[in-house]
Amino acid sequence: MSLVPVLLLGVVLALTYRSEAKNRGLAEGKSMAQMLARSAVEPLLGDEPLSDGIGAADEAHLYRRALLLTDENLILRLRLRDLDGRVVYSQDGSGLNDAPDHHAVEAASGHTIAELTRLNTDANDSGDAGVAAVEVYEPIHNSVRAPIGVLEVYLPYDAIDADISAATSNLYRNLVIGLLVLYVALFLISLSVSRGLRRQVGINAYLAEHDTLTGLPNRTLFHRRAAAALRDAAENREPVTIAIVDLDRFKEVNDTLGHHNGDHVLAELARRLAMQARPSDTIARLGGDEFGVILRNVEDPSEELAALRASIDREVEVSGLPLSLEASIGYVVAPFDGSEVDELLQHADVAMYMAKSKHLGIVRYDPDHDHYDATKLELVAQLRHAIDDGQLVLHYQPKLSLTDGRVDEIEALVRWQHPTHGLLYPESFLPLAEQTDLIDKLTDWVLARALVETQQLRAGDTPLAVAVNVSARNLSGPDFADEIIGTLRRLDVAPERLIIEITETALLTDPDRAAAALARLSEFGVRISLDDFGSGQTSLGYLSALTIHELKIDKTFVTDMLVNPAHAAIVRSIVDLGHNLSLSVVGEGVETSETMAMLQRSGCDVAQGFVLARPMPARDLPHWFMSRTERAAVLTP
């Protein structure tokens, strides 16, 4: 490839030199003709145009002068033409009866014309034989520099050509040497560049398919190998296992020891996994602390995966500290759990999260555990518009005081009046909304709407207080408390009319920030209720330090406390705990008057449930309060 441009360059230069040599010969011929005209011809002629003829004396002088020039081989032929291009004098008598020459006519206007030709020895101008010559037409002037005719002279080209050939030969020789040197240089450069490019292409191809930290295949190569394994398995009717391995609590390593030490851990674990795997298996790093595994033709993949998991469980020393990590593994077996790579990876991901959430270590995909539905993701996208388009509504459920029978609190519960799916309850859209920033917009809407709708509602002479649920994502926001206080001030609502309900899970997400936000709200006058108490893992020491006013017993303990002595004991214990901490205690999920009576005997302060009222729109609350006297007589023990 490098030789081709060099050869083309050589051809172009050779043609250029050849053209330049011809031009040089013509230029020298013009110069010679001009010199002859000025020094040898014009001095012999008078001032009259040549069309008037040449005197005998002038013709004799011209003949002798031409003969001398011919003998000295300076010219081959000499003619004089008039301004119309007709020959009026010819050294050898040729052309006297020829038609006017167009070159001579052009030269008569003041231009020197030159071209290469061949002049036969027998004076015949046609044919290939003869002597190479430069044919020149040079205008002739009189003493006042007025044109009087044209000099037609044929100059020998061989001498000129010999001089040019000698110079050209040197040029060609230098050209060839230069081209050879250039070719060698280009060849070596091309060789070096091509080798470098091949090496870089190989590096790029490797990097495109491998993880730079661990050297393992990346997601792209893993996907391609998985597809190949599925094709081979379909032909050979063999099972293929695809697994996702995710490290537990790896974020703590990065946060505590720094990302450089986290990278060291990942590299070491990747090495262990690669060492443990069979040659036919594939271990890949899919991203972060997540690895992918492909096992071919394994009857019991749980054993292989358990060995991989055990290799991770061994201690890793980082900066002199021994670390012990664990992994959660979810896996699928094709073709039983799916036939496409993306489908199998999604199923393995579901199984991995099940293993992580249930602390099971290794879990195979089970369709019953797959709650991920594309329609739910679509609902989240539609929810953003639903808030702005007025599709959300609030229902309210009253809370009954078991000490005096009063109802001065209600809980706001959001519903979605979907144009296609009808009325949707929170469990249909809130869990997914809590995974995005949309939960902040939704909570802001619920808070403001609940305060506006209940601002004029009263229970007798007492203004109603409304409880609003907030999520862990809301509580971890840096401006959570200030935003709630700002809403209360903007709507001119007394802070004691708002109850914020939080869950134990929300508290444990960011305990320090949660404690600071709750203290800020409590100081302003907002009451705090800890919802679903008993279902989480709240430390009693932490509970005593929180600024809360109310405990809501998880309804799983209340619903069956009549028939489940253990749950009845838990309810009594929570009531005692709450009272000892000077907290009000609410039992939710009360569906029968018998359950309500048992709660009252247990010392519970407030009851909430279907036995009192189902959640209802704000417009139905006044009617419910009007008829409440009769219901209270029946329901209040």
Q: Which segments of 300-441 are extended strands (E)?
A: 316-318, 321-323, 327-334, 362-364, 392-401, 409-418, 422-424
Which tokens in the block code for residue 574?
């929570």
Q: What gap in Å lies between CA 171 and CA 18, rounded to an integer? A: 11
DSSP 8-state class, residue 496: G
DSSP 8-state class, residue 101: P
Angle at 339 between CA 336 and CA 342, to 5 degrees: 120
Q: What gap in Å lies between CA 537 and CA 504, rounded to an integer? A: 7
14: burial class by Cβ within 10 Å (0-12, 13-18, 19+)?
middle
In the chain, helix, strand, coil percent, each to 5?
50, 20, 25
Question: In this structure, what CATH number is given to the domain that contains residue 63?
Answer: 3.30.450.20
Please say whether the beta carbons of 444 and 405 come within 8 A: no
Do 433 and 471 reside in the same domain of the chain? yes
Amino acid, single-letter form, for residue 276: Q
Cα–Cα separations (whole angstroms), residue 142 to 30, 110, 198: 19, 13, 76
Tell me how crowded residue 559 is: count the other CB atoms within 10 A of its CB: 19
Q: What gap in Å lies between CA 559 and CA 228, rounded to an integer? A: 54
pLDDT value, residue 542: 66
Threshold 0.85, pTM exceeds:
no
Residue found under tokens 């398995």: 233
Do 406 and 533 reside in the same domain of the chain? yes
pLDDT value, residue 481: 92
Q: What gap in Å lies between CA 266 and CA 213, rounded to an integer? A: 8
- Provide CB contacts within 8 A for 473, sequence distance 6+: 434, 435, 437, 439, 440
Do 385 and 346 reside in the same domain of the chain? no
374: burial class by Cβ within 10 Å (0-12, 13-18, 19+)?
exposed
**b/e map 461-483, b = 16+ CB within 10 Å:** eebbbbbbbbbbbbbebeebbeb
Do 356 and 386 reside in the same domain of the chain? no
In a domain, residue 200? The reply is: no
In a domain, residue 389? The reply is: yes
pLDDT value, residue 7: 63
Residues of the chain with pLDDT under 70: 1-7, 9-15, 17-18, 121-129, 159-160, 163-172, 175, 370-377, 459-461, 508-509, 536-542, 629-637
In a domain, residue 93? The reply is: yes
Please say whether the beta carbons of 286 and 226 come within 8 A: no
User: Which of 608, 578, 626 lies closest to 400, judged by CA?
Assistant: 608
Cα–Cα separations (whole angstroms), residue 152 to 120, 251, 493: 16, 100, 118
In a domain, residue 173? The reply is: no
- Helix (H) / strand (E) containing 260: helix 259-276
**b/e map 132-158, b = 16+ CB within 10 Å:** ebbbbbbbbbeeeeebbbbbbbbbbbe
Do 333 and 403 reside in the same domain of the chain? no
424 phi/psi in degrees, rounded to 5: -105, 140
Do 498 and 518 reside in the same domain of the chain? yes
Q: What gap in Å lies between CA 413 and CA 516, rounded to an integer? A: 26
pLDDT value, residue 212: 85
Q: Which tens digits make up the pLDDT trace of 278-332?
A: 888 999 998 888 999 999 888 889 889 999 999 988 888 877 778 878 889 999 9
Give the total number of structural domains in the chain.
3
Across the chain, which distance is largest between two alpha carbons, in Å? 162
Question: In this structure, what CATH number is given to the domain that contains residue 505?
Answer: 3.20.20.450
In a domain, residue 32? The reply is: yes
Do 477 and 338 reside in the same domain of the chain? no
Domain-ending residue, one of 317, 338, 369:
369
User: Which of 334, 287, 283 lies closest to 309, judged by CA?
Assistant: 283
Q: What gap in Å lies between CA 132 and CA 438, rounded to an integer? A: 96
Amino acid, single-letter form, for residue 372: Y
Do 419 and 560 reside in the same domain of the chain? yes
Please say whether the beta carbons of 14 and 175 come within 8 A: yes
pLDDT value, residue 326: 87
- Provide CB contacts within 8 A for 615, sequence distance 6+: 395, 396, 397, 413
Q: Which domain holds residue 608?
A: 375-635
Do 361 and 380 reside in the same domain of the chain? no
- Provide CB contacts within 8 A for 239, sequence distance 6+: 233, 297, 298, 299, 333, 334, 335, 336
557 phi/psi in degrees, rounded to 5: -85, -30
Strand 327-334 versus strand 240-247 pairing type: antiparallel
Domain-ending residue, one of 163, 178, 198:
163
Domain-ending residue, one of 353, 369, 385:
369
94 phi/psi in degrees, rounded to 5: -85, 150
Which tokens in the block code for residue 585?
């205690």
Q: Which residues pair with 327 in a beta bridge?
A: 247
Do 478 and 518 reside in the same domain of the chain? yes
